[in-house]
Amino acid sequence: MNRKNEIWVFGDYRNYFQNRVTLQLIGRAVELAKEIKATVCAVVMGHDLDEWIGEYMAHGARRVYVVEDPSLKEYDAETYAHLTARLAAAHSPEILLVGATSFGREFAPRVAKRLNTGLTADCVGLAINSDGLLVQTAPSFGGNLLADIVTPQQRPQMATVRPGIFKEIPHNYEAKGEVIRIPLPKDIPARRIRLIKSVRQTQKPQKIEDAAIVICSGRGIGTQKKFNSLYELAELTDAEVGATRPLVYAGWADHEDLVGQAGKNIRPKILFSFGVSGAIQHTAAISGAEFIIAVNKNPQAPMMKMADVAICADAGQVCAALIRELKKRIR
């Protein structure tokens, strides 16, 4: 096989958060590249890209493919997919990674289709197995199950990856790399979607079912005052607050906030669980949570057993300490 053996990371940069996931993927690609002796490359398209080209190299990319043109200024999934598929067809990368952002999740399926290859969505893990294949770990059933998926024959092996899973490499502005500029092809299809308006979102009204972070409380929080302090923590972390049945009965929380069999099922990326013992009616509804931080005085509580981090302490005190510390640390 005549392959250059490259791992490509799609340069998604439209906002701060998208840029971070790009850097996280470059970070992971650097580790994967060691195992298959590959070169980590970024591919970026748009207008005025120098800042991003420099940033990708500083964070680990050794080669950056660039398609720069004023007409590419606005993100467009179809156009970007067209260009990326052409580039990939010409350079045959082994692996192509895309951040699972709103854009990435529309763009990557189109690229995969054009390249006749497989794509695993929203991965939470990437590794190289003994056959040299990319093992893509993806959640299914609301995170209840994980599946390890490979693309044995087709290339590139493609995955979208959730933000926050991998760590970016600290920047090194001394790092050198190669920039390959590709002129915009003349025969690029006309856009069929016109962007009429794009407004930066201020506060998105979110529902607890869709929240990335949920703070759940049970009777173990102690007092209504302490329970109310969870809303301050929620404000700091853009979280939604949920409650178990006893708190809803006590009138501290609305029925709308009930997380449990008779209420809402949630699947946040992070679940903070304060003073929840973990009755089955509740744990069934939170089994989709990706990462659970539980606080309870009783280490034997079922909720503590199913947590990623089980904090054996007073829920109210930990909440207060968390609020103090986050105020100092959030940038």
Partner 1 sequence: MELVVCIKQVPMVSELPWDPATGTLKRELAEGMMNPACRHALEAALQLKARQGGRITAVTMGPPMAEEVLRQALALGADEGLLLSDPAMAGADTFITSRILAKAVKQCRPDFDLILCGCYTSDSETAQVGPQLAEELDLPSAAFVEEIDMKKNRLIVSRFSDGFIETLEMKLPGLVTVSTQCYTPRYFSLAGIEAAFPDGAPIRTVRAGDLGLDPESIGVHASPTRILKVYAAGADKENIVLRGAPKQIVDHLLNRFGDRIGGAMGKDIKKNRN
Strands 125-128 and 134-140, how do they pair? Answer: antiparallel
Q: Which of residues 219-248 bind partner 1 (CB under 8 A)?
A: 237-238
Q: Round to whole Å and give the CA distance between 39 and 30.
A: 8
Among 16, 170, 174, 251, binds partner 1 (CB under 8 A): 16
Name which of 4 and 167 has its Cβ closer to partner 1: 167
Per rule CB under 8 A, is residue 262 in the interface with partner 1? no
Phi (first) and psi of residue 152, to 5 degrees: -70, -40
Cα angle for residues 156, 159, 164 (degrees, 5° grid): 140
Instruction: Provide the minimum distance between the beta carbon of 91 and partner 1 in the complex, in angstroms, as a whole number.
Output: 19
**Cβ–Cβ under 8 Å, residues 82 and 123:** no
Q: Contact between 70 and partner 1 (CB under 8 A)?
A: no
Residues 132-151 that bind partner 1 (CB under 8 A): 135, 138-151
Q: Which of the stretches 43-51, 89-97, 161-169, 250-258 binds partner 1 when contact is defined by CB under 8 A?
A: 161-169
How far apart are CB 27 and partner 1 at their closest, in Å? 11
How many residues form the binding site for partner 1 (CB under 8 A)? 100
**Contact mark string toward partner 1, 169..198, x via CB under 8 A:** -----------------------xxxxxxx
Q: How many CA atoms lie within 13 A of 186 on its CB side?
A: 0
Binding mask 76-115 for partner 1 (x = CB under 8 A): -xx--x-------------------xxx-xxxxxx-xxx-
Q: Which of 23, 165, 234, 303 binds partner 1 (CB under 8 A)?
A: 165
Of the candidate residues 7, 44, 258, 293, the single one contacting partner 1 (CB under 8 A): 293
Single-letter code of the amino acid located at 117: T
Residue list 268-287, contact with partner 1 (CB under 8 A): 268-270, 284-285
104 burial level (CB within 10 Å; 0-12, 13-18, 19+): buried
- Closer CB to partner 1, 102 or 224, in the complex: 102
Rule CB under 8 A: which of 30-69 touch partner 1? none
Neighbour-count burial for 32-67, b at 16+ CB within 10 Å, e otherwise: bbeeeebbbbbbbbbeebeebbbbbbbbbbbbbbbb
Closest CB to partner 1 among 122 and 179? 122
CA-based R_g, the chain, Å: 23
Least distance from partner 1 to the Cβ atom of residue 67, Å: 20
Query: From the list 3, 256, 313, 327, which residue makes contact with partner 1 (rule: CB under 8 A)?
Result: 313
- Please give the structure tokens belonging to residue 281: 């009616």
Alpha-carbon separation of residue 330 from 110, 202, 238, 323, 327 (angstroms): 36, 18, 12, 11, 6
Nearer to partner 1, 132 or 299 (CB): 299
- Residue 94 CB contacts under 8 Å (≥ 6 apart), including other chains: 3, 5, 6, 7, 36, 38, 134, 155, 156, 157
End-to-end CA distance of the chain: 47
Q: Can you tell me whether residue 20 is helix, strand or coil?
A: helix
Among 84, 120, 217, 244, binds partner 1 (CB under 8 A): 120
Rounded-to-integer distance, Cα 237 and Cα 246, Å: 25
Answer yes or no whether residue 117 interacts with partner 1 by CB under 8 A. yes
Candidates 48, 70, 225, 330; binder of partner 1 (CB under 8 A) is 330
Supply the minimum distance, in Å, between the C-beta of residue 190 and partner 1. Answer: 10
